[in-house]
């Protein structure tokens, strides 16, 4: 048997004998000719098998016609035949005239999901749902996006970290912690690598990044929340303010979006109807108080039960930014210290505000970033303000007792970025295996 060729490479291959492998997508079993659409991880191709007849015109039951007639959707096969370029063929302008067809593994005839199945049903059978070209593209472009971020970091002399996901205490709020048995005691699944990426600053690493899992015990069923998600984190030393963090953040995103558009832009437009836009820099920056005023002038009052921007407010300010600046991103800055973690630095002239931001992309918050407080006595005081016991944070506070440079960073949800890039309505569509309050399988 000749060497297998992936389908996307057939267009550049000369006419002649080829071997391809994949799963059966459709079969048209006609009297004089059979057609099979075969799909692999790279694309689809049409297989053609003209049927043989005897002298009286009666169709002969021979191979591979017998095998084709019994093929179920999803069956994995290896096909060998003659490749022919023909612009009349709608599927890629090529087809393969079969000489042999080998069934590698058979599929059950009736599939448990269809194109109109609900997202929950499709998640039950995720391995079948992932066969769709749209889903295949999601994870190829995600790979490109992450590679572009990592290339930026490496080219700018960042150090990659792999921080532990078992912790002795909370990094943010104990209310969102998963507690697990740990030998004779208790441990917690990490909500964020926050403490550990900060630890790299007194260690003298300077600039660090991590792409890894994070866990939130948040019983939320919204389209943008998960109990386990992939977090993109970065932290840098020797900053003057959170403006330095925002500059890093926007440069990373430009690198990621540019790579995705260059490699997958045409395919994204064909499958999702979305034109990927590489954002211009600098991204718009709007203080939160001003953003709330703008939203109010648009006819929506953000509820006053806290100092944050609610989801509708995020959508409204995003619409304003699109209309005013022609931009899909906006940094909302200067959040109240009352709703920010104890380790966010507060304004030098107004302790009620922090040197922090949220990044909004197409109306949804995808990230929080800030300058960190590096003065240990202020950190201790701010921890007490939040009702935390500094003694329980002693291992963290030790980082700041032996010298630490001014620093800051951000954490960003990967799935939210990909979801919004593709104009999808749920992170379930762009998470390989979603985990939520009522989903631990598959």
Interior angle at CA 286, CA 282 and CA 291, nearest 5: 150
Instruction: Say how far apart CA 367 and CA 246 lie, in whole Å.
Output: 11
372 is in an annotated binding site: yes
Reduce the DSSP state of residue 165 to 3 states and report it: coil
172 is in an annotated binding site: yes
CA-based nearest residue to 275, from 323, 197, 328, 314: 328
51 is in an annotated binding site: no
413 is in an annotated binding site: yes
Q: φ, ψ for residue 122 (rounded to 5)?
A: -65, -35
For residue 47, list its beta bridge partners. Answer: 36, 96
285 is in an annotated binding site: no
CA-based nearest residue to 434, from 175, 148, 111, 130: 130
289 is in an annotated binding site: no
Measured in whole angstroms, the distance separating CA 426 from the mean position of its chain's CA atoms is 11
Q: How far is CA 135 from CA 127, 129, 348, 385, 438, in A?
A: 10, 8, 48, 46, 23
Reduce the DSSP state of residue 367 to 3 states and report it: strand
160 is in an annotated binding site: no
For residue 98, list its beta bridge partners. Answer: 81
What is the end-to-end Cα distance of the chain in Å, rounded?
36
Answer left, alpha or beta for residue 129, where phi above 0 means left and psi between -120 and 50 means alpha: alpha
The total number of residues written for the chain in this structure? 442
For residue 439, list its beta bridge partners. Answer: 436
Q: How far is CA 175 from CA 259, 312, 379, in A?
A: 38, 25, 21
The torsion of the CA quartet 110, 111, 115, 117, rounded to 10 degrees, works out to 110
Instruction: Say how far apart CA 336 and CA 345 lie, in whole Å.
Output: 11
368 is in an annotated binding site: yes
Q: φ, ψ for residue 11 (rounded to 5)?
A: -60, -35
Instruction: Say how far apart CA 393 and CA 62 lie, in whole Å.
Output: 75
Q: Which DSSP string corresponds to 207-237?
A: EEEEEEEEE------STT--SEEEEEEEEEE
Cite the annotated binding site by residue number.
172, 216, 365, 368, 372, 413-416
Q: Residues within the annotated binding site for L-aspartate?
A: 172, 216, 368, 372
**Known binding-site positions for ATP:** 365, 413-416
């Amino acid at each position: 048997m000749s060497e297998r060729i992936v389908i996307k490479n057939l267009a550049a291959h000369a006419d002649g004998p080829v071997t391809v492998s994949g799963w059966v997508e459709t079969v048209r079993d006609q009297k004089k000719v059979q057609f099979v659409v075969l799909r692999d991880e790279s694309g689809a191709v049409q297989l053609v098998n003209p049927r043989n007849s005897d002298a009286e015109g009666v169709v002969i039951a021979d191979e591979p016609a017998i095998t084709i007639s019994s093929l179920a959707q999803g069956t994995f096969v290896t096909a060998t035949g003659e490749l022919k370029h023909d612009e009349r063929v709608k599927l890629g302008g090529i087809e393969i005239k079969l000489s042999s067809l080998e069934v590698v593994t058979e599929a059950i005839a009736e599939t448990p999901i269809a194109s109109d199945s609900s997202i929950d049903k499709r998640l039950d059978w995720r391995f079948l749902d992932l066969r769709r070209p749209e889903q295949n593209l999601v994870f190829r472009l995600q790979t490109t996006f992450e590679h572009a971020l990592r290339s930026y970091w490496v080219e700018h002399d960042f150090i990659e970290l792999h921080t532990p996901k078992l912790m002795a205490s909370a990094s943010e709020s104990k209310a969102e912690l998963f507690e697990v048995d740990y030998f004779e005691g208790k441990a917690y699944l990490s909500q964020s690598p926050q403490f550990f990426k900060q630890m790299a600053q007194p260690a003298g690493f300077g600039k660090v990044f991590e792409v890894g899992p994070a866990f939130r015990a948040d019983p939320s069923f919204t389209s943008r929340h998960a109990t386990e998600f992939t977090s993109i984190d970065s932290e840098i030393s020797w900053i003057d303010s959170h403006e330095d963090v925002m500059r890093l953040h926007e440069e990373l995103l430009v690198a990621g979006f540019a790579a995705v558009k260059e490699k997958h832009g045409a395919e994204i437009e064909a499958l999702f109807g979305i034109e990927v836009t590489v954002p211009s820099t600098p991204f718009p920056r709007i203080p939160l108080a001003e953003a709330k005023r703008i939203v109010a002038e648009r006819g929506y009052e953000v509820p006053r039960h806290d100092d944050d921007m609610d989801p509708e407010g995020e959508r409204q300010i995003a619409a304003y930014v699109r209309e005013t600046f022609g931009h899909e991103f906006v940094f909302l800055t200067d959040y109240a210290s009352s709703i920010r973690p104890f380790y966010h630095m507060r304004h030098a002239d107004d302790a009620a505000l922090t040197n922090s931001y949220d990044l909004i992309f197409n109306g949804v918050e995808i990230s929080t970033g800030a300058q960190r407080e590096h003065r240990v006595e202020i950190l201790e005081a701010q921890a007490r303000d939040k009702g935390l016991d500094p003694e329980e944070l002693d291992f963290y506070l030790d980082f700041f007792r032996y010298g630490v440079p001014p620093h800051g960073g951000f954490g960003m949800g990967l799935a939210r970025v990909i979801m919004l890039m593709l104009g999808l309505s749920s992170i379930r569509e762009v998470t390989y295996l979603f985990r939520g309050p009522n989903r631990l399988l598959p």
